[in-house]
Structure 1
């Protein structure tokens, strides 16, 4: 209905000039607060819906969003998230929206820091940030706040930022749930192990920290009396990892339960398969390599968070906020999905 109203119709209903209405609708030039209130009141009354495609093409205005994403190989978690970003980009093509990705090494905080000067010198209207490194993300968001550039967080929510939206699971709660899943499989005094992949500079990823906090919190509430060991592995050195794992289990033959708080569970499960070792392992993220080990029993549970949905919605949130001028929900928690080999084959149906 709103699209049948012309600018001169709205001007007449508002009691202002057509030029004033034009400036308000196209967000150009100054108008008085009184005129703005009059026009806005009429727009709400007639449920005015502008033709945004026509407007953006007529003004020849383009929008550039930048996504800071960890470098990935095909089939990994971040590849799934980027599939969602690409779907949103394709959907918004008619609105002159472009999305550029800047990559960093998720095991090297310096590689993230090196992107900040690039952003200082780059023209863009919105940013998506994977919040891997807390201190670096805080430094970047302060820069974006100064530039009044809207940004969306994914991976882990950081409450000391002015993000317009966050998409992802509640990291603490997902770890808490993982604690319950694991605790149900052990005796109160059994020993367990946390597998952790090391990062350059010995910096833990924000999301993994929060997941581990939730996990340990659950065990603490249950007065867990066993020991929690930590095994440090390297993402790109399988031979070294084999030696590390062999050495650990030679010393701790009683341990047959553990968890890893990221998508690398398949690298640990591969070791157990090679050694024909029975082990109860909880991991994160439904990627192909993890799914294989879930189906053959070397991963017991996967906790999933729908990365493609996250990627799609983070770009849509910037679009709605910047172009449609709509209010978006700030906290958008994904479902915390628990997958086992009996239900994994149905997981992506109807999504």
Structure 2
């Protein structure tokens, strides 16, 4: 495998000159630059990225930690973050914590050892100090780390209010709030201020309270997204015990898909007998039948903004601390 010395020798320049060309530092004539590039191509020379990052004190790597890559929301989010990072000459190191504290800690240590320039946090199971001790540019996504760490989220409270309003305007009078799918949070999810999806319940319940409508809460823990039958059976048990439920707000499109399957197995007609609204509006919402009414989060816009903010921090620029984007309600066949 050719080394930088081989390139310098064949090109008739110093190793320092080759290094400057690779790292775009200092003045180098176009003639010399083109000659070195030609030799690198002839020798099939591949620069050592780690050595280059040490020289530049910059790796052009961004770490992304998410709780569950199998979840369609995080899959779509990751796709968009990777795209916009690449457009800005950054590569992405993806870490799938699977809501495991030990795994998340090991990933954080790995990102630090690989000298990433910054980290986007979508999964936060550790103590605040574990993140702040990194001394790296940080951005949190839909979960708050600390007041001084920038946060990107959408208006979850408004989204919850939209759902309640539509269900009640459609004539529903016995509503159920079905949430969960996040291991380790269970019932505390509704009151956990660091997890902003809990605000969906706040907006939903406030609208129902204003109209004197009671809400039933049901927590559905999904440990494995391939174990569909178990989740469907749990929902069938809940609906069997609460036959008068005629409107459901599920806090993700994935949970909504489980609810739809449970209703179909029980011959509950959608939307005649029961109306269902999901959250996120991922591609799944338009693929299942009936097509799902859902609150649309601007996933691509949130991803693009996250990349922009973390790069601004990496470059030493001042950034705001809170970024909240609006949501909208997309009505389809389940309402």
Q: Residue 179 of structure 2 is aligned with which of 196, 213, 218?
A: 196
1:69 is matched with which residue?
66
Contact map agreement 2:183 2:221 (CA 8 A) in 1? no
SS in 2 for 1:182: helix
1:349 is matched with which residue?
none
What is the CA-CA distance between 1:304 and the residue it aligns to? 1.2
* Distance in structure 1 (CA, Å) of the matches to 2:164 and 2:326: 17
SS in 2 for 1:258: strand
Contact map agreement 2:285 2:291 (CA 8 A) in 1? no
SS in 2 for 1:194: strand
2:22 is matched with which residue?
none
What is the CA-CA distance between 1:90 and the residue it aligns to? 1.9
Equivalenced residues, count: 269
Distance 1:109 1:61, change over 3 A: closer
What is the CA-CA distance between 1:159 and the residue it aligns to? 7.3
* Distance in structure 2 (CA, Å) of the matches to 1:285 and 1:197: 14
Distance 1:256 1:298, change over 3 A: farther
1:20 is matched with which residue?
none
Contact map agreement 2:142 2:197 (CA 8 A) in 1? no
Q: Residue 215 of structure 1 is aligned with which of 204, 211, 218?
A: 204
CA RMSD in angstroms, aligned pairs only: 3.1
Q: Residue 228 of structure 1 is aligned with which of 211, 216, 219?
A: 216
2:168 matches 1:183 = yes
Contact map agreement 1:167 1:331 (CA 8 A) in 2? yes
Distance 1:282 1:153, change over 3 A: same
What is the CA-CA distance between 1:127 and the residue it aligns to? 0.9
* Distance in structure 2 (CA, Å) of the matches to 1:125 and 1:154: 17
Where do 5+ consecutive residues of structure 1 fail to align? 1-25, 27-55, 343-351
What is the CA-CA distance between 1:129 and the residue it aligns to? 0.6
Contact map agreement 1:168 1:305 (CA 8 A) in 2? no
What are the equivalent positions in structure 2 for 1:79-118 lying under 5 Å apart? 79-93=75-89, 97-106=90-99, 108=100, 111-118=103-110
Distance 1:216 1:69, change over 3 A: same
Say which is worse superposed, 193-202 or 248-257, in terms of deviation.
Answer: 193-202
So what's the TM-score if we normalise by structure 1?
0.66
Distance 1:114 1:221, change over 3 A: farther
Contact map agreement 1:78 1:307 (CA 8 A) in 2? no
Distance 1:201 1:233, change over 3 A: closer
1:266 is matched with which residue?
257
SS in 2 for 1:177: helix
2:41 is matched with which residue?
none
* Distance in structure 1 (CA, Å) of the matches to 2:218 and 2:152: 29
What is the CA-CA distance between 1:81 and the residue it aligns to? 0.9
SS in 1 for 2:197: helix
Contact map agreement 2:121 2:140 (CA 8 A) in 1? yes
* Distance in structure 2 (CA, Å) of the matches to 1:309 and 1:227: 32
* Distance in structure 1 (CA, Å) of the matches to 2:253 and 2:221: 14
* Distance in structure 2 (CA, Å) of the matches to 1:316 and 1:160: 20
* Distance in structure 2 (CA, Å) of the matches to 1:117 and 1:292: 39
